[in-house]
Structure 1
């Protein structure tokens, strides 16, 4: 296990839900402040009320049932659902100080989530040609348990990842998640694991030093 994140990286974990538009505005402001040297880097863990978010590659045909608010997120990717029971990690780092390698950042971010899930007993992986974090569902098929979507502005990252702890999985049926309709979506709860957000946050925290070390060392093969 890794050490705590350096003091230059703020770790913030919210217990209350935060509206997506409010979080987006706060993240945008923090991104600019980091870029101007006026604020520290940030890992921000939270949960949103139900919302569909559209990435820069979103296809309107994949918005099947807009039963919740739809917000243009500004990140890469297509449509994603966020809601209660899903833990969101917004990761705002200054890549000018960490190698200026966006591909390494994304790979390291995926590796952080995969290692954390392994620590709580869930094997997961990347899948060639499919964005996100994948695992084996209860029917034996591959299913998505986590989503990845990032934006980099002037070498400062924003957005990040989401992991399904115990969301209402029927809410995902209003969209084609990330443009992939051949595979389903699953959660820790569906896999028989009950885990409070605080426990998941602690598992992430235990691995954040490894994530930052992999990023800074450009050891992007881990895990």
Structure 2
């Protein structure tokens, strides 16, 4: 991801990488050791995105948005809003009412966090992105203060919709995100 971002030419196509990670805690640049409560057997990896600590694991949609900020006519705040709004639109497809918070980036349902954000902009290009909890084991979030907030409760689509389909969630989110930014997606595996 960093290599792609740092070595891409100005005419290189923007990319969105969608995946599910094996269990891992990632500690952002603002991360503090006191937010790692009891990580146990799950590795902690320092990363160069903004934000604090979060958890990634199977059943969570992780989207890395590798975009030329100038080309999409965006700044960091607009990109954060596009990420949040696209998740809110995706969740609305499942009749899940969600909202962003002005003072705490991400997406929340009934006060519980369902999606975390963390970005880095270098040479006018974005990388890192978001993590949307779809159908996963939420227990590892109890081992940290998610995003630096003690006691922050996490939720997932599965808490509202039985057996959510990850490929469908991916397609819905990409469609919403690209629509907000005026982009046309093309799919590669």
Structure 1 length-normalised TM: 0.77
Aligned equivalent of 2:152, options 180, 183, 191: 183
Q: Deviation per CA, 1:85-106, whole angstroms, max 9, x where unpaired?
A: 1010110100122235111111
Equivalent in the alignment of 1:165 = 134
The answer on whether the counterparts of 1:59 and 1:78 sit within 8 Å (CA) in structure 2 is: yes
Indicate yes or no: 2:162 matched with 1:193: yes
Q: Specify every segment of 5 or more residues in structure 2 that has no aligned partner in the other structure, as ranges.
A: 184-189
Indicate yes or no: 2:68 matched with 1:94: yes
Indicate yes or no: 2:24 matched with 1:51: yes
The answer on whether the counterparts of 2:145 and 2:151 sit within 8 Å (CA) in structure 1 is: no
Equivalent in the alignment of 2:105 = 131
Equivalent in the alignment of 1:155 = 124
Counterpart Cα distance in 1 of 2:101 and 2:46: 26
Q: SS in structure 2 opposite 1:166?
A: coil
User: Quick one: structure 1 residues 127 and 208, their matched pair in 2 at CA, closer, same or farther if it must change by over 3 Å?
Assistant: closer
Indicate yes or no: 2:108 matched with 1:105: no
The answer on whether the counterparts of 2:113 and 2:155 sit within 8 Å (CA) in structure 1 is: yes
Structure 1 position 39, deviation (Å): 3.2
Counterpart Cα distance in 2 of 1:132 and 1:100: 18
The answer on whether the counterparts of 1:112 and 1:211 sit within 8 Å (CA) in structure 2 is: yes
5 Å matches for 1:36-75? 36-37=9-10, 39-67=12-40, 68-75=42-49
Structure 1 position 196, deviation (Å): 1.8
Indicate yes or no: 2:91 matched with 1:117: yes
Counterpart Cα distance in 1 of 2:150 and 2:36: 12
User: Quick one: structure 1 residues 154 and 33, their matched pair in 2 at CA, closer, same or farther if it must change by over 3 Å?
Assistant: same
Aligned length: 182
Q: SS in structure 2 opposite 1:65?
A: coil
Q: SS in structure 2 opposite 1:159?
A: strand
User: How well do the aligned residues superpose, as a CA RMSD in angstroms?
Assistant: 1.6
Structure 1 position 82, deviation (Å): 0.2
User: Quick one: structure 1 residues 169 and 158, their matched pair in 2 at CA, closer, same or farther if it must change by over 3 Å?
Assistant: same
Counterpart Cα distance in 1 of 2:33 and 2:7: 33
Structure 1 position 70, deviation (Å): 0.6
Aligned equivalent of 2:112, options 132, 139, 143: 143
Which consecutive segments of 4 or more residues in structure 1 shift more than 6 A? none
Q: Deviation per CA, 1:152-197, whole angstroms, max 9, x where unpaired?
A: 0011000111110111111111110001124300111122432121
Q: SS in structure 1 opposite 2:168?
A: helix
